[in-house]
Copies of this chain bind each other. A is one copy, B any other.
Amino acid sequence: MTTEQKTVEVCFTPDQFERYYTDQKVVVVIDVLRATSAICTAFANGVEKIIPVATVEEAEDYRLRGYMVGAERNGEIVDGFDFGNSPFSYMGDQIKGKTIVLTTTNGTQAIHISKRAENVVIGSLINLNAICNWLVEKQEDVLILCSGWKNKFNLEDSICAGAIAQVLVDSGKYNYHEDTTVAARYLFKSAEQNYFGFLRASSHRKRLRKLNLNKDIIYSLTPNQVDSVPILRDGALVEYNLL
């Protein structure tokens, strides 16, 4: 650990990744509703490996080879698959020690885009303290990539990014330059007393509520439920704490 400050910056959408990626050693991918919340839940429940894939075709390929496969598009389970990205599908004994393949509308795309970075880790509100502790300890330049919704800005990912940036800046080991980072921190400060109320107006929350996924929303917006730090190694996510 050095005394030199590192930078933490926020990118609001995957299509802006190239504008904000400056060879940071760490990219944190966030998709609060629901991909990264599901991934963190899976590792807390003993899953061994998650293979994120970009397309439904790749996912289908794995399914035919006997893998457990989660596939979500537009908030719903893709026809022919057993589950989507509800965190509640990633709990229980049936996933312990398993390898799961996952494709989602936004989150797995964001992981795909980030692959160039030396370290890709998974952030969410449910593993907020765990991921922040890991980053403070790591002390390398960090880019936080929000998955957004089809390359549009979304509130819940930006707030989670702001929460992480805030902890890193408060540690004294990180500074920032981008306006996105300033904005994310302000949004986090406006939201932190009541994530659920703040996000009442969020477009994605409305989308999921229509799909009767309020239980998923409440779970995903409740910070610090798990200690997992999922990290990408050779194209698959594994639990850093077990490396």
Q: With CB as the reference atom, state the residue of chain B lying closest to A189.
A: B190
Classify chain A's interface size.
20 to 34
Interface assignment of A19: CB less than 8 Å from any CB of chain B: yes
One digit per residue, 1 when the CB lies within 8 angstroms of any chain B CB and 0 when it does not, for chain A 198-241 equals: 00011110000000000000000000000000000000000000
Q: Which of A12, A13, A204 has the most CB of B within 10 A?
A: A12
- Cβ A19 vs Cβ B151 within 8 A: yes
Query: Judging by beta carbons under 8 Å apart, are B153 and A12 in contact?
Result: yes
Residue A109 lies at the interface, judged by CB distance under 8 Å to chain B: no
For A104-131 the 0/1 string (1 means CB < 8 A from B) is: 0000000000000000000000000000
Copies per complex of this chain: 2
Q: Cα distance A180–B203 when bound, in Å?
A: 10
Query: Which residues of chain B are near A12, meaning CB under 8 Å?
Result: 12, 153
Q: Is A62 positioned at the interface, with any CB of B under 8 Å from its CB?
A: no
Chain B residues whose C-beta falls within 8 Å of the C-beta of A179 in the assembled complex: 149, 152-155, 158, 201-204
Which of B19, B152, B177 contacts A178 (CB under 8 A)?
B152
Task: Please give me the 5 A-B residue pairs with the lowest Cβ-Cβ distance, nearest first.
Answer: A155-B179, A182-B201, A186-B190, A154-B179, A153-B180
Interface residues of A (CB under 8 A from B): 12-13, 15-16, 19-20, 149-155, 158, 177-180, 182-183, 186-187, 189-190, 201-204
